[in-house]
Amino acid sequence: MEMKIIFFLLSFTIFELSSAQLRVGFYSSSCPRAESIVKQVVQQRFRTDRSITAALLRMHFHDCFVRGCDASILIDSTKSKSSEKDAGPNLTVRGFELIDEAKRNLEAACPSTVSCADIITLATRDAVASAGGPAYNVPTGRRDGRVSDSSEVNLPGPSLSISDAAQFFTAKGLTLNDMVVLLGAHTVGVAHCGFFQDRLSDFQGSGKPDPTMDPALAARLLRICGAQSRPLNRDPTVFLDQNTSFIVDKQFYNQIRSRKGIMQIDQELALDKLSAPLVSRLAANDALFQQSFANAMIKMGRVEVLVGRAGEIRKNCRVFNPTKPKGRTG
């Protein structure tokens, strides 16, 4: 037990030291237009595709929860190595071309200066603000990882209990409250029917819908997700937030309090005694949600970051930089 405590304290100290090296305005001298370049790309995309906010939130979360916020999710697989991008949970992650565009523009302005990891963080922040969410400053100075392995991807699933899901977050230095707030990202985005279809008609083998879901909602979703509605093996999607589907606001919490959560874990947030009190406070106070969401996103963006001389600054976010050959002696 004592050794576990020592290991936790050492891990926490390393986390604090590494994240402390991040700072707001990291590129103010080396690439003064860095943040405005990323913002321009995001805002241009948002004007034609408001769903990009959910896509980037998901990408950021899926990146930080494997090897930390190091852009390892951006690496393309090779014939000999399957990267994180091709792990099952990441097959529906999208938005990579936006990151590529921002990187090309940054390389033109400031070659080999701005990391792909910082681009993900900045782009997500700007997409949240574009969708009516909080505008907040994020510290930068992350560096890009040199490892991306599909076998390392282990993310919390949509059917976990609150206590089981919380273990994934506490392992990354985040609290239960952080988890409740970060799952508020489901205020935007969609879910494929396959992730919640068991709740609609045969919950846990009962032959009945999940009793925690509003019956009218279950019936409507069944019409969308039923076999007769899924030709050619398609997996339809539905909005996670049924009311303000493209706006980052507190309405997600109001819906789960009304038993209208789409994913089981979302509905559990409003039912579990560990999380329900915070759900109620967030549902009642948009200012609290906005500030809490900003703080939680900043905190998540510090998870297991690479700083200083660790990692690298990729020239192309999809591939590691070539390894420099060792010098030869004559």
Q: Which residues are annotated as a binding site?
A: 63, 66, 68, 70, 72, 84, 156, 186-187, 241, 244, 249
- For the purposes of burial, counting CB atoms within 10 Å of the CB of 285, is it exposed (0-12), middle (13-18) or buried (19 or more)? middle
Residues of the binding site for Ca(2+): 63, 66, 68, 70, 72, 84, 187, 241, 244, 249
Q: Rounded CA gap, 48 and 137, in Å?
A: 25
Residue entry with tokens 């004007």:
47
The secondary element (H helix, E strand) that includes residue 190 is strand 190-192
Q: Rounded CA gap, 54 and 95, in Å?
A: 10
CB burial readout 293-317, b (16+ within 10 A) else e? bbebbbbbbbbbbbbeeebbbbeeb
Instruction: Specify whether 62 is catalytic.
Output: yes
Q: Rounded CA gap, 316 and 79, in Å?
A: 18
Strand partners, 141: none
Whether 134 and 293 have beta carbons less than 8 Å apart is answered as yes
Q: Which of 45, 58, 60, 62 is catalytic?
A: 62
Residues forming the active site: 62
